[in-house]
Chains A and B, each alone.
Chain A
Amino acid sequence: MAKIKYIEHNGNEHIADVQNGLTIMEGAIQNDIPGIDADCGGSMSCATCHVYVKEDWYDKLPKKEMGEDDMLDQAYEPNSSSRLSCQIIVSDDLDGLSVHMPEKQV
C-alpha cells in the first residue's frame, strides 16, 4: 500500500491509498479522482492517463518500457518528466509519490 498524491492542473490535491500491484492510473479511477481519463483501459494505447512526475520521484520509478515514449508523443504537452500512469505499478517504495496532471488529456 502506498499513499499517492494526485495533483490536478488547477492545484487541487487528492490523496489516495493505493494497493500494491495496482497502477497509478487504476488508483485514480477507483478513487474517482478527476484528471486521468484512461480511455483504453490501461493497454498503453491512448495516452490519456498522462502525468508529470517531478525529478525527485522520477528517477525512483520503474523505467519506461518500450512503447511508452511512443505513446507519450501523442499526449497533451509531454515533457521529460512525463509518464503514462497506467505503466507505473504501485509498491511500498512509492509511498508518498506525487503525480501532477496535465491541463487536459487529449
Chain B
Amino acid sequence: MIKTDVVIIGAGPTGLFCAHQLGIIGLKCEIVDNLDKIGGQCIELYPDKPIYDIPAVPECTGEELTNNLIKQIKPFNFNFHLNNKVQELRKENESWIVKTTNGIEFNTPNVVIAGGVGSFEPRKFPTKSAEKWDGKTVLYSIKDKSIFKDKSVAIFGGGDSALDWAIELSSISKVSLIHRRDEFRGAPASIQKIKELSEKNRINLFTKYSIKDVKGNGSLEEVEIKSEEGESKTLKADYVLGFFGLIMQLGPIAEWGLNLDKKTIPVNTENFETNKKGIFAIGDICNYPGKLKLILSGFHEGALAARGCFKYARPNEKYRFEFTTASNTIKDRLGIK
C-alpha cells in the first residue's frame, strides 16, 4: 500500500500540471495512467499536430508540450504508474483506497481525476462471435510473436501497426492482410514492402474487405470476410488480429457514484471537487457552466484542485499563497539554489 497526499488519475497535460502545482505547494502525489507512456491524448492522438493555443507558446506539438511538462515536474520526483488502470475507488475511514488493475494500492486523502474522456482501449471487431476468442486467438496487441510460428494469421487494419505486423509475421507465419479500402495509411516504405510481399505471394492481400464472422469448433478455425457488394470469402485462420487504433472508454469511473452527466463529472469551480469529498475532477472530464475543453482550462483547474487537496492532506496547517518568483520555500522545492 502506497501512502500519498494525492493520486492523480491520468498523465495528460492537465494531470501533469496539477502534479506541478501540488509540488509547488509541498504535497506529494502519485500519477496513474492506463497508457504505456506519459502525455494522454497529446501523445496518443496527436503527437505531431501543432497546438496554437497554449498561453505564451505560439506553437508546439503534443509531444513537445508533454516533454516540457515532464521537465517542469522533474524536480519533484513524482512516481508514474503507467500501464495501470484504476479499477476500484473506495472510502476507508477518512482515506480513499485506490486500486489498479495490476494490483497497486494507494491510501490517500485526495484523488484527482484528470482522465480526459476515459482510458484508451483497443477498438475491437464489431462481430459478436469474436468475443468468444478475445484475448486468446482474437488479439488486438501482440506480446509474444513466437505463438504465431507456422500458423495462419489474419490481420485486419490499414495503419502502421497492421502493416508492420504483417511484414514481421510474414517470415514465420501464413499471413493474410485485410483492409476495407485500397489505400493504406502507414509509412510509404511499409506500404511498398506489403505490395512486394503480396506480389511474391508471401502475404495474401485482401483490400475492400472487412470482417464478417469468425468461426471454429472449440478453437478458432476460419475467418469470413465480406466486400461492400456483399461477396464473401472464407480464410483459414488460427489467429485473428485487429489493429483499429484506440478508443477512449470511461470504464470504472462510471461506477464511483460521481453524478455523471454524459460521460463528464460535474464539479464546483472553486476547487473542482466533485460530489464526493476529496475527489476532484479536472480537464476534459469535468463539467461546469462555461466549461471549455482547452488545455489551458485544464491547467487552471489543476491549480485550483491542488489547493483543494491541501486542506485534506494537511488538515492542521493553513495554506498560504506564495509566488514562485518570491518564495524561497518554493525555490527549495524546485531545487533552485
Interface size on A, residues (CB 8 A): 19
Instruction: Mark each residue of chain A from 38 to 81: 1 if its CB lies under 8 Å from any CB of chain B, else 0.
Output: 01110101111000000000000000000001100110111110
Given B41, B124, B181, B228, which contacts A106 in the complex, CB threshold below 8 Å? B124
Query: Which residues 153-168 in B have Cβ within 8 Å of A in the complex?
Result: 157-159
- A46 contact set on B, CB distance < 8 A: 45, 247-248
B228 touches A79 (CB 8 A): yes
A73 touches B46 (CB 8 A): no
Contact A70/B228 with A41-B293, A48-B247, A106-B123 known, Cβ cut-off 8 Å: no
**Any chain A CB within 8 A of the CB of B126?**
yes
Complex alpha-carbon distance, A39 and B49, angstroms: 17
Complex alpha-carbon distance, A23 and B122, angstroms: 27
Contact A70/B45 with A39-B247, A46-B247, A48-B247 known, Cβ cut-off 8 Å: no
A77 touches B41 (CB 8 A): no
- A43 contact set on B, CB distance < 8 A: 45-46, 49
Query: Which residues 43-87 in B have Cβ within 8 Å of A in the complex?
Result: 45-46, 49
In terms of DSSP, what is the predominant structure of the interface of chain B? Answer: loop
- B159 contact set on A, CB distance < 8 A: 70, 73-74
The minimal Cβ–Cβ distance linking A105 to chain B, given in whole angstroms, is 9
The minimal Cβ–Cβ distance linking B126 to chain A, given in whole angstroms, is 5
Contact A80/B228 with A39-B247, A40-B41, A69-B181 known, Cβ cut-off 8 Å: yes
- A76 contact set on B, CB distance < 8 A: 123, 126
Complex alpha-carbon distance, A103 and B183, angstroms: 25
Complex alpha-carbon distance, A21 and B179, angstroms: 34
**Any chain A CB within 8 A of the CB of B180?**
yes
- A70 contact set on B, CB distance < 8 A: 158-159, 185
Instruction: Mark each residue of chain A from 10 to 43: 1 if its CB lies under 8 Å from any CB of chain B, else 0.
Output: 0000000000000000000000000000011101
Further contacts, 13 of them, CB under 8 A, given A73-B158, A74-B245, A79-B228? A40-B45, A40-B117, A43-B46, A45-B46, A46-B248, A47-B245, A69-B181, A70-B158, A73-B157, A73-B180, A73-B245, A76-B126, A77-B210
Chain B interface (Cβ within 8 Å of chain A)?
41, 45-46, 49, 117, 123-124, 126, 157-159, 179-181, 183, 185, 210, 228, 244-245, 247-248, 284, 293
27 pairs, A vs B, C-beta closer than 8 Å? A39-B117, A39-B248, A40-B45, A41-B284, A43-B46, A43-B49, A45-B46, A45-B49, A46-B247, A47-B245, A69-B183, A70-B158, A70-B185, A73-B180, A73-B181, A73-B185, A73-B245, A74-B123, A74-B159, A74-B245, A77-B126, A78-B180, A78-B210, A79-B180, A103-B126, A106-B123, A106-B247
